[in-house]
Every structure is written in C-alpha cells, then in structure tokens.
Amino acid sequence: MARVVVVTGANAGIGRAVAQAFADDGWSVGILARDADRLRSAEDDLRLRGAHVLSIAADVADAEAVEAAAARFEQELGPIDVWVNNAMATVIGPARDITPEEFARVTEVNYLGYVHGTRAALQRMAPRNAGSILHISSALAFRPIPLQSAYCATKSAGVGFVDSLRTELAHDGVKVHLGTIYLPAVNTPQPLWSRNKTGRAQQFPGEALDPRQVAQVVRFAADHPRREVWIGRTTLAMAIGQWLAPSLMDWYLGRKMWDAQLADRPPANPEGNLFAPVAGDFGIDGPARVGEPVEPSVPRHAIGRVVEEPARSEDLAGIGLESGGALGGLEMDDAWQAGATAASVARGPAAAEFWTSRQAGAARLALVGLALIGAASLVRGGAGRTGCAVRRNLP
C-alpha cells in the first residue's frame, strides 16, 4: 500500500514542488489550498505522474476545515504518514503601515495554520505512535529583516510552538516526529502575489534556490527524520551573524536589506492574496527578479538525489568567511562570493548544489569557531557533524 503525504499550500511554489517530489516516488498525495482552480491544475499534474491524489479546497486558518480535510484524506487515501505544513501569506511593508487586520490574517495563516495542521495530523498519528510532521520555515525565523515583520514574527512563533510540542511528546512517549526545515530565498511566485504596501515590486535580494531543490530535501527528511534542516549558505551565515553580533546585524540589515528587496517598478498585485486568492495558475517557479522571464532556476534534469554525508571543513570555512566578511563591512555579495570561492577551490568542481544542517547544537559551536578563525579553518578545521546535499546529475 502506498504511503500517504498531505501538503498544505500545494497549488503553487514550494508546496506544488513538494507534492510532485512525493508523487514521483509513488506516494499517495493529499493537497490542500484555498484556490480551487489552481488546486485542480496541481491535481492534474500529479495524476499525470501516476499518483493517487485527492485535492481539497480549504483555508488553513479555519481549524474545522483543516480537521475535516484530514479526516477525508485518511478516509480516501489511507493513514497519513507525513504532513507538510507549508501554506503561507505575508505583507511586504514597514510595520507602521500594516494594519491590525493584516497582522491578524498573516498570523492566522502562517502560525495558526501550522497549529491547525499539526493538531489534525497529530490526532491521527499519535494513536498509531508513528508519523512525521514537517514544518517549512525560514532563516527569517531566527534573523528577521526589514519590511517583513508580520512574516518573521509568525515564523518565530512557529518555532516556539514546535519546540514546546516536542517536549510534550517526549513526556508522553509519543514517537511522532516533528521537523523544521529552514529556507533561504526560494524562486517561487510569492513576489507576484504578496500584499505590498511599499509602492515598489518585491524582488529576491540575491540568488534564489529552485523550489525543486527544496522539495528534494523535504522528501529526504520524510525518510530521514531530523529535528532541524538548514538549507543554503545564506541560512547558516545569517544564523552565525545573529549568534555572534545581533546588534550589528540589526544595523547591517537595516542599511542593506530594505532597498535590496524592492525593484524600481510598481507591484503587479499590490492587494495580493492575503484575504482572497490572486487569480491565475502560477505553477512552481517565480521570477528570480520581478519582471524577469519565469523559468526553472535549475534545469529539471539537473535536480539530482539527496545524499547524506559528513560536512567538510571547507564548507564551514567558506560560510565562516562569508559571515566574517559581511560583519567586517564587506558588501554582502562580495562576502558571499569570497566564501563560495574558498569552498569551491577546496572541493573542486563537483560541489554540492546546496548543503543543510543536521545537528543544530554541534553546528552552532563549529560555525562560531569557523566564523572567528575564517580562512585558517581551510587548513586546520575538522567538522564533526553531518549534513545532506542535493547533487546534480552531472554528465
């Protein structure tokens, strides 16, 4: 019997890519989102992949609707093995310009939506003493940036909820896994539908990962439970900066990350999808910069398998150089490039597409040390922890 996964926010972007990754591996897939038309399109894609799929149009902010959907998923697909909390909404703009109603709505979707999904899944998994609930989070959960106060706050709240619940499951001896996956910028259609109060279109402040790369790591995490998974150099580098010098990060991000998120053109949909979906089938990919052609960030054939491997000292050394350089006053792109160059020189051309954290506690100690000693780690460092990587299918 096929295993069953449920993905919320699965009609576009990361959620749609995650659903396809599970479908490609033969899972039965339940997808949940607000927009019925876009949901049908996502369902058609999954059926073409040969998946047994059920789509349900529901708002994750509605606890009763989520509970009813979970019951129907189990009735028609079978016992839920993995639940992926992914649905999100946001407002781009200064906190002073965001209304109480807008703050409340972002909280209902991003935070309470995760609570409702987790409770619905846990109610079914706990009696079986099996299952995995994965939460798609962001580096902004532990290092907020300007213009995204509503989003950052809800992601931080989600971490607190999951960590508290984890202690309760430990107390009760319930063996349901809770995992959180922290993302950097990902090239999804989000900038095209976020409510925007700045008068300028949102753009990604640098390189954005292909959503299919994220989906591969989520798929990996379903079979290899990890408390936390950090994807990408920027995620780890932001974490280092927050641990070492949060006040300096406040100043730096306040100076650099405001305009970096905004393009010199008006937003296409300033009202966004906060209270109602934006019409259209947005698919998986977004423009890496608003206004650019929409196409996969990485060719589909280049997405390879996720492998677990020891994290090499040169990886962490490169991240240390990035963080140290940024904190030392280098331009962000220059600091990132310095670290990437150091790692690629040490590792050669077959570098991993991206690298994630497995053991957060050990990682913090290792990364703090590497951030302090920087280039010396290339020779002297020895990372004793484990990560995972998505490798390309190289010719």
- Active-site positions? 151
CB contact at 8 A, 45 and 15: no
Euclidean distance between CA atoms 21 and 36, whole angstroms:
21
φ, ψ (nearest 5 deg) of residue 67: -60, -45
Closest CA to 226 of 166, 315, 268: 166
Euclidean distance between CA atoms 156 and 139, whole angstroms:
10
Pairing label, strands 4-8, 82-85: parallel
Euclidean distance between CA atoms 18 and 8, whole angstroms:
10
Closest CA to 207 of 141, 292, 266, 264: 292
3-state secondary structure of 57: strand
Alpha-helical (H) ranges within 268-375 are 313-327, 332-347, 360-373
Euclidean distance between CA atoms 241 and 250, whole angstroms:
10
CB contact at 8 A, 389 and 306: yes
Task: Pull the structure tokens for residue 109.
Answer: 């979707």
How distant, in Å, are the alpha carbons of 179, 216, 230, 231, 393 from that of 298? 26, 13, 20, 16, 12
Euclidean distance between CA atoms 140 and 155, whole angstroms:
7
147 dihedral zone (left: phi>0; alpha: psi -120 to 50; beta): left
Closest CA to 53 of 7, 118, 120: 7
Secondary structure, 3-state, 176-196 = CEEEEEEECCECCCHHHHCEE
CB contact at 8 A, 86 and 41: no
CA dihedral 311, 313, 315, 319 (to 10 degrees): 120
